[in-house]
Amino acid sequence: MDSVYLRKGYVHMASMKDVAKLAGVSVSTVSRVISNSIPVDEKTREKVERAIEAVNFKPNLLAQGLRSKSGNIIGLIVPEILHESFIYFIKYIERYVSEIGFNLIIGNTSNKPKLESEIIDNMIRRNVDGIIFSRVSDKSKVMRIIEKTDIPVVIIDRALGQEDIPTVVLDNYDAGRLCAEHLVALGHEKFACITGPRDIFLSRDRLRGFVDVLKKNGLGLPESNIFEGDFKFETGKKGMQYFLETGAEFTAIWGQNDLMAIGAMNELVRRGRRIPDDISVVGMDNINAAEMLVPSLTTITQPFEEMARISVDMILKERNGETIPEKRVVLSPGILIRETTSRARIAT
């Protein structure tokens, strides 16, 4: 008799009705005890609380959500769960959201606009209290939500130009600046860079910051020392292959994320170049692998946890009708100096 595998009869999860009956009061009184908003006589409160204990009552969240139009749930939409930096958002947002008594529901768009619509609809149909986008493929979708419903929306990680949507982003210009300053301080004079897609703000901002610092120091980055990647390991390798085959001259390279930087390192090592003795390498994101390599990767860091907290806070503020002082929060990157960067070889 495999009773485990047979659908057991529905086991009544205690409802307010049960509590009310046991405590000898009405359901409204029970509700009041729980919400703690309206004064209740001490004695009845105690009776009710005992009853709640006795039947192990927990309010049904669907009923609450239906009635109050707030599902106590926040939606997070990412284009790709396994992506090295999104998992940090997932982790920290989940943690923070649950700390404040919400649940997190995750949608993975796989970068398909059609899926994106579906996911958004689904979330709306769950009366989500807000939606956090990590990278938006189609701006209009976000605008539609904002215009047609009252659901708070926050965009994290990738800005959309100067729209009027609450946004939490990294100061990507500063990321490039930090990187260049570190390398220049080490005496490097010739550089290369593997960027993200050039049509993305974030990649361009990073590059601008990088180049500006070089210029300020009388140095520069020739276009032939720039390779456009897609933030994946493979294009990091490809970029380095390209540089090495075209004979580009440089003693330091920046991969605009760790994956590409590691790809570049991989190619260097396979061709017998020494890091950092021949070439210094900097990445960005500080993914797990960065410190597992030999040599360990110097990298630009993002305050993922802070970004997560701020974006959730913004959702809650919007939801409570509070005005958000700054609709565009810009956070600063840091730099973690490890073993892939060292002083440039003395020029001869």
Partner DNA sequence: TTGTAAGCGTTATCAT
Partner DNA sequence: ATGATAACGCTTACAA
* φ/ψ (deg, to 5) at 328: -125, 105
Residues in 85-124 at the binding interface with its own copies, rule: CB under 8 A: 87-88, 90-91, 94-95, 98, 103-108, 110, 119, 121-122, 124
The site string for DNA over 45-84 (x = CB under 7 A, - otherwise) reads x-----------xxxx--xx-xxxx---------------
Closer to DNA by CB, 16 or 175: give it: 16
Question: Smallest distance, Å, CB 268 to its own copies?
Answer: 9
Residues that bind its own copies (rule: CB under 8 A) add up to a total of: 70
Q: Least Å distance between CB 87 and DNA?
A: 34
Complete DSSP assignment for 56-125: T----HHHHHHHHS--SEEEEEES-TTSTTHHHHHHHHHHHHHHTT-EEEEEE-TT-HHHHHHHHHHHHH
# residues contacting DNA (CB under 7 A)? 33
Q: Decide: is 124 part of the binding site for DNA (CB under 7 A).
A: no
Among 24, 50, 54, 63, binds its own copies (CB under 8 A): 63
End-to-end Cα spacing for the chain: 84
One-letter amino acid of 92? Y
Look at phi and psi of residue 158 and say left if phi exceeds 0, alpha if psi is from -120 to 50, else beta.
beta
Helix locations, the chain, DSSP H:
16-23, 27-35, 42-55, 61-68, 86-99, 113-125, 139-148, 172-185, 201-216, 233-246, 258-270, 304-319
Residue with the two structure tokens 């659901």: 151
Least distance (Å) between residue 294 CB and its own copies? 5
Of 126 and 232, nearer to DNA (C-beta) is 126
For 154, the 3-state DSSP assignment is: strand
Smallest distance from the beta carbon of 220 to its own copies, in angstroms?
31
Asked if 325 touches DNA (CB under 7 A), the answer is no
Task: Give the one residue of 15, 117, 266, 296 binding DNA; rule: CB under 7 A.
Answer: 15
Site map for its own copies, 215-254, x if CB under 8 A?
------------------x---------------------
Q: Which of DNA, its own copies, none binds 68 (CB below 5-8 Å, type-dependent)? A: DNA
Q: Give the containing element (helix H, strand E) for 330.
A: strand 328-331
Considering the complex, state which of residue 45 and residue 95 has its C-beta at the smaller distance from DNA. Answer: 45
**Cis, peptide link before residue 152, omega less than 30° from 0:** no
Among 41, 46, 138, 150, binds its own copies (CB under 8 A): 150
CA distance 344 to 185: 10
Q: If binding is defined by CB under 8 A, does position 164 make contact with its own copies? A: yes
Binding-site ranges for DNA (CB under 7 A):
12-13, 15-17, 24-29, 31-32, 34-35, 37-41, 43-45, 57-60, 63-64, 66-69
